[in-house]
Amino acid sequence: MTVAHSRRFSTAVKPIDISLLSKQLLQLGRTSNSDTFSEISRQREQLVSSLISTLDDCAGLNQIKQVHGHVIRKGLDQSCYIITKLIRTLTKLGVPMDPYPRRVIEPVQFRNPFLWTAVIRGYAIEGNILEAISMYGCMRKEWITPVSFTFSALLKACGSVRDLNLGRQFHAQTFRLRGFCCVYVGNTMIDMYVKCGSIDCARKVFDEMPERDVITWTELIAAYARVGNMKSAAELFESLPSKDMMAWTAMVTGFAQNAKPQEALEYFNRMEKSGIQADEVTVAGFISACAQLGASKYADQAVQIAQKYGYSPSDHVVIGSALIDMYSKCGNVEEAVNVFESMKYKNVFSYSSMILGFAMHGRAQEALDLFHYMVTHTAVKPNTVTFVGVLTACSHTGLVDQGRQIFASMHQMFGVEPTRDHYTCMVDLLGRAGRLQESLELIKTMSVEPHGGVWGALLGACRIHNNPDIAEIAAKHLFEWEPDIIGNYILLSNIYASAGDWDGVLSVRKLIKKKGLKKTPAASWVVDKNGQMHKFFPGNMNHPMSNKIQKTLEELVERLTVLGYKPDLSSVTYDVNDDGKRLILIRHTEKLALAFSLLTTSRDSTIMIMKNLRMCQDCHTFMRLASEVTGRVIIMRDNMRFHHFRSGSCSCGDFW
């Protein structure tokens, strides 16, 4: 039993009595002239067994050296079995391979493949892949044939440093030297190719493996999920002969991480029907899927599932953090706060989830207060996600000075290097505040190369402040990073349209047509009391209640007009007459969803609407005034943030 295992079953590791070991070894070493060969062999086996057992209990370098001394005195320093165990014990305790472990093998004259593998593995775990390869070369010079564990150690090392070419060379070695690929090496090879970003090679290895186990299947399923290819993941999963909890978890979390919440819930339900018990990771994936649906019904279901499997948010930090995120995304930030405050143990993920929750709801001061409390009153250190949350909070409320201070403190005070995501937040913060030139200068001085997110933030700010000149600069770079994302082209087209540059609009539309890009249709949806989702698309009046929805909207427009509502025709980016623009505006998807909710919900209930794109200025004004004339609380979640409309005001303070 290893030290790690022994700690699981006892409160403390039993200290090694070296003097007792010496007496035992001395007794075992005594033989008389009458001893038979078999008796000598038996005593030698006992001696080796005693040394191996003692090595298992070693908890420090000094103890290992004392055991090593006994090995030498008893003439066992040529035993590959004992020396291999010695090397593995040193590796387990994190002792650097140079100089001590490396010197241990030097006296051994006839090294077997297991001893060489222990050395190779030690260097690989250290991250010293060059020395691991060197040891492999020495092994081959001695004409020692590698074993499966040799290749698994080398392939793991290649995966850890993302060296695809080197991994391919060792892949070739497995065929050249062994002529076959066992399950264990095959699994390691798949893992290596996945980590190196070559999922096609991983699939070829999978297809050519003569034998597979559930780990083989699950590794590849999870890999497909990570790159967003859930179709291939699902096909592979359905072919899996025996599905265990890990395989089900890969599917549930994969769909959740790839914004397919309905499918995630479907697979979770299938898993339960198959009799498989969910673990903490699976439940967290289920909660994440519920968060994406953004409806209280699913939030309640998530809580019930967590309770069913005994994962209380107060005792399980992973579940607690997931519930905070879920409640925040379902528009109920107060319940997220309740979960956060009930947690007995909070880590950086808990704090980051709560800070992000406050940020997406426009409660910047609470996000900042929680951040400052975390860094001054707890031992929790902020990470990259924490700073994304705090900077987002500043961006959504225009707190430029506070955002600058926090951005500067990242490296200076907390040792966190700004990433592209942090620069994106800063560009967004400055851009929303109208400081477009300053945003552009910041991009030019970035310590890392700006990616699509950075240029997209600048382009979005240009849309808010109608600046086609800087927009063209941002779009040029953005089209290089994301040439097939149609939303970028539409954003530039809208900027041209707002500036009255219809030639610019036409040129962008020609480019879209040339590239064969298809526009992502706007969509808004609500979930009724029975959990059924009702989805609305622009101008699509195919809903069974279309006539009533249209009539309700017309009546609502009349009531809002009394309060001074005038359609914001600039929100329409099509070159049509004013009447055409008014017709387009009244059929925006969030307005259809609002009318449906007014018809089907009680007057004292909160209306919750989700949208896949950013809400336009006209719809924002419409929702704000609608909350006043109807007396209803309207919560709107678009792809940027939450808006809470109440009594004619919005939580964003019209800064968004």
Only one residue has tokens 């025709």, namely 569
Only one residue has tokens 């706007």, namely 522
What's residue 497's pLDDT? Answer: 86
Q: Which residues contact 203 (CB under 8 A, 6 or more apart)?
A: 220
What's residue 556's pLDDT? Answer: 95
Q: How far apart are CA 84 and CA 81, in angstroms?
A: 5
Helix/strand/coil for 644 = strand
Q: Which residues contact 355 (CB under 8 A, 6 or more apart)?
A: 367, 370, 371, 386, 389, 390, 393
DSSP assignments along 122-162, one per residue: HHHHHT-HHHHHHHHHHHHHTTPPP-HHHHHHHHHHHHHTT
H-type alpha helices, 466-545? 468-481, 486-498, 502-515
What's residue 38's pLDDT? Answer: 63
| Cα–Cα distance list, 566 to 94, 137, 557, 617, 619 (Å) | 71, 79, 9, 12, 11
What's residue 4's pLDDT? Answer: 37
What's residue 60's pLDDT? Answer: 76
Q: Based on C-alpha coordinates, what's the Rg of the chain?
A: 32
Q: How far apart are CA 159 and CA 360, in angstroms?
A: 37
Only one residue has tokens 């890009």, namely 517
What's residue 467's pLDDT? Answer: 94
What residues of the chain score a pLDDT lower than 70? 1-44, 46, 178-181, 295, 573, 575
What's residue 538's pLDDT? Answer: 84
DSSP assignments along 549-562, one per residue: HHHHHHHHHHHHHH
Residue 353 and residue 291 in contact, taking contact as beta carbons nearer than 8 Å: no
What's residue 13's pLDDT? Answer: 34
Q: What is the pLDDT of residues 46-94, one digit of tens each?
A: 677 777 777 777 777 877 787 777 778 777 778 788 888 888 888 888 8
What's residue 292's pLDDT? Answer: 85
What's residue 485's pLDDT? Answer: 86
Residue 88 DSSP class: H
Helix/strand/coil for 535 = strand
Q: Which of 615, 617, 618 is nearest to 635 (CA)?
A: 615
pTM recorded for the entire structure: 0.75
Other Cβ atoms within 10 Å of 92 Cβ, number: 16
The distance from CA 28 to its chain's CA centroid, rounded to whole angstroms, is 56
How many Cα atoms within 13 Å fall on the side-chain side of residue 573?
21
Q: Which domains does the chain have, with CATH numbers?
A: 431-515 (1.25.40), 524-650 (no CATH)
